[in-house]
Structure 1
């Protein structure tokens, strides 16, 4: 999907899809400086801004609304290219893309119309609600701005709260969430544009995905205009598919597939530039060493298989999207959720191994922090940890045996 093979059979960084959009120069520049950002722990403010200006966040919007008019499948192609260049940047856009997908499905609702307007202006939207930091099994998500209090002096609502693990919020222009509105005591949706009272701490301590802006977002007496507070989405019909969060999982798995592609690309450069071979090898130059050529081939093959597995889940998600509000919606959405789980189980196992083989290929020549090649393994493991693979394996086994249905919450 996306055509990332060169004429001689090698793997290239940028797909035809991204090149046609005019993204290739920017993606290549992001890839060239990724290791430098890793070494310097430098947040990608400039790179994120450039992607916004190109309309990366508006890939799914119709052209007449300020977007590029891509299908869901095509959007994943471009997002994987960004992940191959620097997975931090692709990951930072995940919550925004989900808001866009939800808005495209409910575009007749004024809240979602507002989301799409901001997106068409090349702005990105994050979250201001989250799970509690130490939730018990089965506990529901808690709100960050748990209550919006009406302030007559400001002629607006006021709210406060903290969001932990606020992925991408450091770079976002607006934030959405749910709260109790004080005057009527009802649950509402709100859209808060960045202003005074919003701050972001780069306090994310993960050993990978360090530059995703995933620290704590703090909202202190923020003002939400009454025009930006909307009724909650009406409940869907009883026969609608209840699995509404498969996109999140597929997006993360797609990011890992991008890293696997980058490993395959880096592996070629590692072997080409490696100068010394072991005395007990069969060739003077490492690039002529059969065992190393075989390992390079294995990396390439496994990387291609990871991408193909991710594509299978993306295709299932596209079919689910196409079936929205049709009699086939339930079956197609269930199939997409199961396919996403299958892809995660396989890719979470294979991708770290591929990244480890890269170190085997270069041996002591590539363990220097200067190349930051260890970031691939670390980033894969951190992305994979977001939604534990073990629970996906259990569900898939139960489903095969008894027809057990997946959970309907955010981690499926």
Structure 2
């Protein structure tokens, strides 16, 4: 059985094994409108204790279970397998919505949806039938992709070795967002020939250890600890190719990245909305000669700038989602490249604006905005930590090289 180690016991709840639900207890969402309606209602429930969860690092087991029960965990399952197969725009809106109320909860589904997208592109028909049904029945997928020890993020050391009727996995992964809440942990592994695969490993597999050692100052309750694999057995039918998803034009990369952009857009919008509330409560600056902070001309100017920037990120997010959905109907080298560049635009812009909006919140709220009990700093901390996922400066480079020199962007999940 899986062992659990809490590296920060003074601030952690005891880790729990996620419950497994029966198919009949999970709602099956039918379309985009239903998904958005449920997400709107559920996100308001999650908002109620978001400040406390962040302050005390209370892992959201109950909230993630409610997320599963609602049916939102299965919204990207293709229609032919019983899912709603909602648009990329709907996925982006939902992730932005949850990220606005709790940046950590908004990030947790990202790797689950990412694994399902890889499955869509490289899995066999039998694998799709089985794994999609698990998701419709309430199963959650985490991730074990990144490694801390190699010299750069592209190098992987976790090995896949033939053993009996299947394989053994050995290795150690870091930044495994959502794995503490998952039933399966899709794990990136490399065989003796250097081929990369995604192994959908059961969380209670012998030799698998989950470690709650995430100490980031933001995104504190994403469950982004480490996972160790010591001779962990995985059946052949639970392994799908990973590298082939990027050797041909697919939407695995841009779809992964638009979800990251949605997290930042959601944080930016929520920080801005909170700013409006706090400015109405703040005192005006002594030199403004007005009765309220909302009448201060320089504050009004700053609010206008942030309003324009946040809206621009939202428009870029919508355009990128539409490009992905268009490319899904006609997947070519050119349509995938356009989708990737459109996603890179919003990803670069949302990095800047999430940081700006969350910083301006505290600045315009005044000294009252620094009080710990209000937790206003969580917006900036969440934005700062999440934006470290990819370097915005390289996204601008790829955009520039595409529009100036017609150089296609690289195919990978970190553009």
Bin of the TM-score, shorter chain as denominator length: 0.7 to 0.9
- Asked if 1:192 is matched to 2:208, the reply is no
Q: Specify whether residues 243 and 143 from structure 1 end up closer, same or farther in structure 2 by C-alpha distance, changes over 3 A only.
A: farther
**How do 1:346-357 and structure 2 match up within 5 A?**
346-357=349-360
Stretch of structure 1 that moved more, 109-118 or 187-196 = 187-196
Aligned to 1:209: 219
How far apart, CA to CA, are the structure 1 residues paired with 2:291 and 2:378? 30
Asked if structure 1 preserves the Cα contact closer than 8 Å seen for 2:36 and 2:94, the reply is no
Measure, in 1, the Cα distance between the counterparts of 2:299 and 2:326.
41
2:267 aligns with 259
Shift of residue 105, structure 1, vs aligned partner: 3.9
Is the 1:243–1:408 Cα contact (8 Å) retained in structure 2?
Answer: no
From 88, 110, 115, give the equivalent of 2:126: 110
Give the Å deviation of 1:269.
1.9
C-alpha distance in 2, partners of 1:368/1:108?
53
SS state at 1:245 partner: helix
Q: Does 1:301 align with 2:308?
A: yes
The reply to whether residue 73 of structure 1 matches residue 89 of structure 2 is yes
1:87-107 deviations in Å (ceiling 9; x for gaps): 111211111101122333456
Written as runs of structure 1 = structure 2, the 5 A alignment for 1:10-409 is 17=33, 21-61=37-77, 65=81, 67-106=83-122, 108-131=124-147, 133-136=149-152, 140-150=154-164, 157-177=167-187, 179=189, 190-195=199-204, 196-225=206-235, 228-230=237-239, 232=241, 240-241=248-249, 244-274=252-282, 276-324=283-331, 329-409=332-412
* Whole-angstrom distance in 2 between the partners of 1:186 and 1:286: 60
Relative distance call for 1:140 and 1:383 in structure 2 (3 A) is: closer
Q: Hey, what's the Cα distance between the residues in 1 that align with 2:140 and 2:191?
A: 25
Kindly state the Cα deviation for residue 229 of structure 1 after the two structures are TM-superposed: 4.0
Q: Is the 8 A contact 2:78 2:84 kept in 1?
A: yes
For residues 404 and 123 of structure 1, do their structure 2 counterparts lie closer, same or farther at Cα, with a shift above 3 Å needed? same
- How far apart are the structure 2 equivalents of 1:188 and 1:306? 34
Distance, in Å, in 1 between the alignment partners of 2:297 and 2:109 is: 41
Residues 3-57 of structure 1 deviation map (CA, whole Å, 9 limit, x = unaligned): xxxxxxxxxxxxx947754333321121222111111121111111111111221
Segments of structure 2 that go 5 or more residues without pairing to the other structure are 1-31
Measure, in 2, the Cα distance between the counterparts of 1:185 and 1:286. 61
Q: Is the 8 A contact 1:355 1:377 kept in 2?
A: yes
Gaps of 5+ in 1: 1-15
Report the alpha carbon displacement of residue 296 of structure 1 after superposing the two structures with TM.
3.4
CA contact (8 A) 1:17 1:78 kept: no
Alpha-carbon distance in structure 2 between the residues aligned to 1:37 and 1:236: 37
Any conservation in 2 of the 1:243–1:409 contact (CA below 8 Å)?
A: no
Contact 1:204/1:214, CA 8 A, preserved across alignment: yes
| Alignment partner, residue 11 of structure 1 | none
- Asked if 2 retains the 8 angstrom alpha-carbon contact of 1:87 and 1:209, the reply is yes
Measure how far apart 1:180 and its partner are: 6.7
- Answer yes or no: is the 8 Å Cα contact 2:285–2:296 preserved in 1: no
SS, match of residue 186 in structure 2: strand
Task: Provide the C-alpha distance between the structure 1 equivalents of 2:351 and 2:245, rounded to a whole number of angstroms.
Answer: 33
Which deviations, in whole Å up to 9, do the C-alpha atoms of 1:51-72 show, x marking residues without a partner? 1111221112257856444222
- Counterpart of 1:23 in 2: which secondary structure? helix
Q: Judging changes above 3 Å, is the alpha-carbon distance between structure 1 residues 117 and 148 closer, same or farther for their aligned structure 2 residues?
A: farther
Q: 1:330 to 1:235 in 2, by over 3 A?
A: same
CA RMSD of aligned residues (A): 3.1
